[in-house]
Amino acid sequence: MKIEEYLKSLPENIVSGEDVQLPEKSFREIFNFLNLGEDDIFYHLGCGDGKGIELALREYNVKKAVGIDSNADKIKQAKKSLSQNNLSAELICEDIQNSNISDATVILFWFTNQEIINNMMTKFEKLQPDTKIITIWGPLPDCLPQKVEFPYIINQIPFKKANSLQEQVLAVFGVKCIDFVTAWEFAERYTKAISSKIENDRFLTIIQTLVIWINARNLGVSCGEKIPESIKTYINIMKTHFNIDFEHLLK
Ligand SMILES: C[S@@+](CC[C@H](N)C(=O)[O-])C[C@H]1O[C@@H](n2cnc3c(N)ncnc32)[C@H](O)[C@@H]1O
């Protein structure tokens, strides 16, 4: 089975990130990296159960916190949890594509849906200079990140445009080319950052590593011409033991 077919067989709400809730330790890593503080107006787009908003207020004393989510149940849960903790925030149930975010100084934006990202880019570009938009795993389209602590990426207004996809990839990974070790290290960092505890994390890391390395090769930013032995070995393991095929992705 091709890797794409395997991914399609997994629950849609998990693969899309719809029901993935960041653990508290990830929020703290993100907020420390942002140097979030009392002068900030913090927006969490797709705020889910409001944990991020709660922490931003309680531990980072932000001036104002706004959580937006299109799921009414999640906003209801967030409101309940904040009032139980005597915290006050704006919690809005709406599509972020219709939201007014113009007073933000810091925005947490973790979306993979291309249409949403493209629509939000128009809004982001109009924000006040120095506003930070933190994304997870990848920078905003065509932009060079301001700062990276992978998988967390700070994009800052005004956006600096990348001259090529290669330039963007290399800015994110901080290396001249991507070898097996870099692909593995970054795959592991991502898995660890977004999960509190995953049973099968080695399996996930192998899939992520192969995807990172193969994409890098197809973009012309992998190191050297030859396919590393370790990549060949993992492609074989996935094929033999799990019936998951990666070979067709190699161009
Ligand atoms: C981490 S976000 C991202 C999920 C999204 N499917 C993606 O493109 O990757 C998940 C949260 O965003 C919320 N959400 C998804 N689409 C939204 C939208 N257009 N506007 C506001 N909230 C949204 C979901 O209810 C969920 O709580």
pLDDT in tens, 118-145: 999 999 999 999 999 999 988 999 999 9
Q: Which protein residue has the closest C-alpha to ligand 1 atom 14?
A: 46
When pLDDT is averaged across residues 153-162 and rounded to a whole number, the result is 96
> Does the beta carbon of 69 lie inside 6 Å of ligand 1?
yes
- In this prediction, residue 204 carries a pLDDT of 87
Average pLDDT of every residue of the chain: 93
Q: Is residue 4 part of a domain?
A: no
- In this prediction, residue 73 carries a pLDDT of 96
Pick the atom of ligand 1 nearest to 74's CA: 27
Q: Is residue 110 part of a domain?
A: yes
How many Å lie between the centroid of ligand 1 and the Cα of residue 110?
A: 8
Q: Which protein residue has the closest C-alpha to ligand 1 atom 27?
A: 48
How many Å lie between the centroid of ligand 1 and the Cα of residue 111?
A: 7
Q: Domain ends where: 172, 196, 214?
A: 172
Q: Look up tokens 């002068």; give the residue.
A: 39
pTM: 0.91
CA atoms within 13 A on the CB side of 215: 12
Q: In the chain, what is the straight-line distance between the N-terminal and C-terminal CA atoms, in Å?
A: 18
Pick the atom of ligand 1 nearest to 17's CA: 4
CA distances from 69 to 53, 90, 92, 155, 196 (A): 12, 11, 7, 22, 22
- E strand or H helix at 154, and its extent? strand 152-156
Pick the atom of ligand 1 nearest to 49's CA: 27
Are 127 and 157 in contact, with CB atoms under 8 Å apart? yes
Strand partners, 143: 161
* CATH at residue 54: 3.40.50.150
Per cent of the chain over pLDDT 70 is 98
pLDDT for 199 beyond 70: no
Question: Which residue stretches of 36-177 are H helix?
Answer: 51-58, 72-84, 114-125, 165-173
Residue pLDDT, tens place only, 51-96: 999 999 999 999 999 999 999 999 999 999 999 999 999 999 999 9
When pLDDT is averaged across residues 17-30 and rounded to a whole number, the result is 88
Candidates 216, 236, 10, 89; CA nearest to 245 is 236
Q: Look up tokens 């993935």; give the residue.
A: 20
Tokens coding 116: 């949403």
pLDDT for 198 beyond 90: no
Measured distance CA(200)–CA(177) in Å, rounded: 28
Tokens coding 80: 């309940």
Q: Given ligand 1 and candidates 69, 75, 99, 134, which is best to mutate, with the most ligand atoms within 8 Å of its CB?
A: 69
How many Å lie between the centroid of ligand 1 and the Cα of residue 45?
A: 8
- Residue-range definition of the domain harbouring residue 205: 176-249
Q: Which protein residue has the closest C-alpha to ligand 1 atom 3?
A: 111
Same-domain pairing of 77 and 184:
no
Q: Domain ends where: 133, 150, 172?
A: 172
Tokens coding 243: 């019936």
Domain count along the chain? 2
Q: Domain ends where: 172, 193, 223?
A: 172
